Structure 1
Amino acid sequence: MAEVQLQLVEITELETNDKESSVEQESRIGRRTRNSPTREYKWWLRTILYTIFLISGQALATILGRLYFEKGGGSKWLATLAQIGGFPVLIPLYCFILCGNLVPDDETGSDSPPLRVAFVKVYVPLGLLVAGSSFLFSVGLQYLPVSTVTLISASQLAFNAVFSYFLNSQKFTAAIINSLVLLTISSALLVVNNSTEKPAGVSKAQYAAGFVCTVGGAVLYGLLLASQQLAIRKVLKKQTVKVVFDVIIYQSLVASIAIVVGLFASGESKGLTKEMEEYSLGKVSYVMTLIWTAIGWQVFAIGTVGLIFEVSSLYSISVGTVGLPIVPVLAVFVFHDKMDGIKGMSMVLAIWGFVSYVYQHYVDHKKSKIENRIASEMADEDCLPAEVHPADNRA
């Protein structure tokens, strides 16, 4: 609102009787406001905040998700529902933002489609992708050490880059290709680290199934983020915080419905009462583990979708990659996972790959700033009135 008022004041001060000149001045002022240091500062602040949400939510939810299976939980569908079903906790914040008008719509955005159209074209497909990816991820957490699951998940950056190339015209530079190669090698190294480190009670077949499902979950997640970016820019056509919450809440609603159907269709719902009673940490801990897992994944979701519309899906998934080393380190203390040489090398390559991509984003950002400044200066020169020679003022 302050930006709008500032524009109105400046336009009023510069207004002339020539209508065409007034329109040019308004356009020039709008460009200056959009490229102002204050706006750029707010963009960096939002990006940093979303990054913190993504990394902290991912670490908390992943550790708690493995804790559920480690202490006696056995329902893959319930663990999947915990990843998605916590979205109602976002509704009060969503209503507060809308009722308080804290985040006005982007002035450059066009009208979004009706809700029923958005459901069919956006939320239902995205919700099914979320459900599928989350279920495969739950299978991985059940049969693999949490450190292995998180390091395999780094490969989702490579899958997202491929999907983004076709769906969002993502450019491939030397730094990005280097990043993708490093992250792919990072995941491939874990194949060498075979079933000798499998959790107690897990067979070789289950270990292999967990590995395949985790890779499959990374594929679907890479497709999900690329599809979210495409939907926000091409279908919803508005890049605002409201759109972030719309995508999270509606796609989570669709995914939750699909997961609940799977929970009852699989028959796992019948054994949940017995599972809670036999949980080694107690009934209260059983419930709290699922609740905090759900909250952690919703914090992660806010950070993920926020970074998608602020930057890109590839950057969002890269930030998730840099947070991966936090989980294996925590797993060493919580679950006594082994941190051997192969895992250490995999972690180093994952971090290196992320840094390589961030460097490319930094270069692109600097280049964009220079191009915007040059364009703004050229536009300002075109809008300046021609100088009037003193001789023209003679009577």
Structure 2
Amino acid sequence: MPVVVEDRNPNLKCLLIDNQEAILEKDETSTDHIQPVKLDQWKWWLLVAANIVFLLVGQAAAVLLGRFYYDQGGNSKWMATLVQTAAFPILLIPLFLLPSSKDTLTSSTPPSLRVLGSIYFSLGVLIAGDNMLYSIGLLYLSASTYSLICATQLAFNAVFSYFINSQKFTALILNSVVVLSLSAALIAVNDDSDGPSGVSRSKYIIGFICTVGASALYSLLLSLMQLSFQKVLKKETFSIVLEMQIYTSLVATSASVIGLFASGEWKSLHGEMESFGKGKISYVLTLVGTAVSWQVCSVAVVGLIFVVSSLFSNVISTLSLAVTPIAAVVAFHDKMNGVKVIAMLLAIWGFATYIYQNYLDDSKARRTQNSVGESQNNSIC
């Protein structure tokens, strides 16, 4: 039982012995639900902002380069799938540069290698399949139609987050989801054609189905990753984010390489490079740039899952679907009309309302924490 020193001198302060501190420390870590990274408020917001920038820039660049690859004569779906995870070794650099201090665990017993291996393998295989579905969708659909269908991932994620992650919804979050979906829808209805030139109706339907399936699978992946952080990994350092990305990407890359050779598409890669519209060097740079962009985007997605939630990560991903046409104007000199401007403003509004909801949640949590701390101090003193 904690011992309290009675204060008989007005110059003396209430003293706590070591076992009281140990009890308080135990109470802070004895929860089954993983808490966000314990940083100062400004550091937490800085980390969130950095991940948002990386996700927006990375995804926009990756989608544009992927469309550029197909437009210039690229036709290998397995190669388009492979480059989405192949650049994962660059993540070893920040992993090695991170401090080597021991990870803070919310459980005294770390998960076994067998459990970790099962998680990384399962998620990696799902990622490979998801990347293939997205590659097919981008091949057979126009950019705006592709963006509209990808926006359905918010609806899928709302369902998965509710059942898997016990995600609570507020009016602001619902507003954000609806407005961002409408933003992507406006971009899509502004499209003049259903698909790129030369794409038949049957291929368009295949692309549509694959993109819907990819959006659903992507949302499931986000919720499963968040569940893994909460219930199994239970680590509170960013190194676990990098480890999750590295190991799942290793599995996904291996599966893509197997698919590339098993399908026989590797035989056509040399001819594809020779006939690439912008030349051999541009072909290589396009693939390398796509690989790096997807890796930047992916680690930001996982980072946002870790520090906020899977739904928040998905909202930012959907925001990028509205930002991508702006990037296309700069890169490909696409026409920017009023519909796209309105869609962009809606996306910003939806993004802002979700950020504001997180600000309210953070402020409420800090007030509660301060209130509990003051109550404990008063009861002790």
TM-score normalised by length of structure 2:
0.85
Measured in 1, the distance between the counterparts of 2:373 and 2:27 equals 7
Deviations for 1:256-288, whole angstroms, at most 9, x for unmatched residues?
122122212222111111111111111111111
* CA deviation after TM superposition for structure 1 residue 112, in Å: 2.7
Which residue of 2 is the match for residue 6 of structure 1? Answer: none
Measured in 1, the distance between the counterparts of 2:105 and 2:132 equals 39
Q: Give me the CA root mean square deviation.
A: 2.9
Deviations for 1:315-353, whole angstroms, at most 9, x for unmatched residues?
112222233332111223434545556555544444433
Deviates more, 1:145-154 or 1:65-74: 145-154
Measured in 2, the distance between the counterparts of 1:334 and 1:344 equals 17
Alpha carbons 1:151, 1:346 under 8 Å: kept: no
Which residue of 1 is the match for residue 20 of structure 2? Answer: 24
Measured in 1, the distance between the counterparts of 2:148 and 2:193 equals 17
Kindly indicate whether residue 117 of structure 2 is the aligned counterpart of residue 116 of structure 1: no
* CA deviation after TM superposition for structure 1 residue 298, in Å: 1.0
Alpha carbons 1:321, 1:351 under 8 Å: kept: no
Deviations for 1:180-218, whole angstroms, at most 9, x for unmatched residues?
333444455566556625322222332333233222211
Which residue of 1 is the match for residue 260 of structure 2? Answer: 263
* CA deviation after TM superposition for structure 1 residue 247, in Å: 0.6
Equivalence map 1:194-213=2 (5 Å): 196=193, 198-213=195-210
Measured in 2, the distance between the counterparts of 1:368 and 1:360 equals 12
* CA deviation after TM superposition for structure 1 residue 314, in Å: 1.1
Deviates more, 1:330-339 or 1:51-60: 330-339
Alpha carbons 2:140, 2:199 under 8 Å: kept: yes
* CA deviation after TM superposition for structure 1 residue 31, in Å: 9.6
* CA deviation after TM superposition for structure 1 residue 22, in Å: 2.6
Measured in 1, the distance between the counterparts of 2:321 and 2:193 equals 22
Q: 2:222 aligns with which of 222, 225, 230?
A: 225
Alpha carbons 2:147, 2:187 under 8 Å: kept: no
Q: 2:274 aligns with which of 277, 282, 307?
A: 277
Q: Partner amino acid for 1:376?
A: G
Deviations for 1:89-132, whole angstroms, at most 9, x for unmatched residues?
112322232xx42x652364544312232111x11221122112
Measured in 2, the distance between the counterparts of 1:143 and 1:83 equals 18
Which residue of 1 is the match for residue 66 of structure 2? Answer: 65
Structure 2 alignment gaps of length 5 or more:
1-12, 29-34
Alpha carbons 2:136, 2:207 under 8 Å: kept: yes
Which residue of 2 is the match for residue 168 of structure 1? Answer: 165
Q: Partner amino acid for 2:114?
A: R
Q: Residues 111 and 318 of structure 1: is their aligned pair in 2 closer, same or farther, counting only changes over 3 Å?
A: farther
Q: Residues 366 and 46 of structure 1: is their aligned pair in 2 closer, same or farther, counting only changes over 3 Å?
A: same
Deviates more, 1:122-131 or 1:269-278: 122-131
Query: Which structure carries more helix by proportion?
Result: 1
Deviations for 1:159-178, whole angstroms, at most 9, x for unmatched residues?
11210100010002122222
* CA deviation after TM superposition for structure 1 residue 80, in Å: 0.8
Deviates more, 1:200-209 or 1:84-93: 200-209
Alpha carbons 1:307, 1:315 under 8 Å: kept: yes
Deviates more, 1:194-203 or 1:240-249: 194-203
Which residue of 2 is the match for residue 332 of structure 1? Answer: 329
Structure 1 alignment gaps of length 5 or more:
1-13, 385-395
Which residue of 2 is the match for residue 45 of structure 1? Answer: 46
Alpha carbons 1:112, 1:238 under 8 Å: kept: no
Q: Partner amino acid for 2:172?
A: A
Alpha carbons 1:168, 1:230 under 8 Å: kept: yes
Which residue of 1 is the match for residue 367 of structure 2? Answer: 370
**Matched position secondary structure for 1:202:** coil
Deviations for 1:299-327, whole angstroms, at most 9, x for unmatched residues?
11221111111111111122222333321
* CA deviation after TM superposition for structure 1 residue 38, in Å: 6.7
Which residue of 2 is the match for residue 7 of structure 1? Answer: none
Measured in 2, the distance between the counterparts of 1:192 and 1:29 equals 55
Equivalence map 1:347-366=2 (5 Å): 347-366=344-363
Alpha carbons 1:151, 1:187 under 8 Å: kept: yes
Measured in 2, the distance between the counterparts of 1:289 and 1:304 equals 22
Which residue of 2 is the match for residue 74 of structure 1? Answer: 75
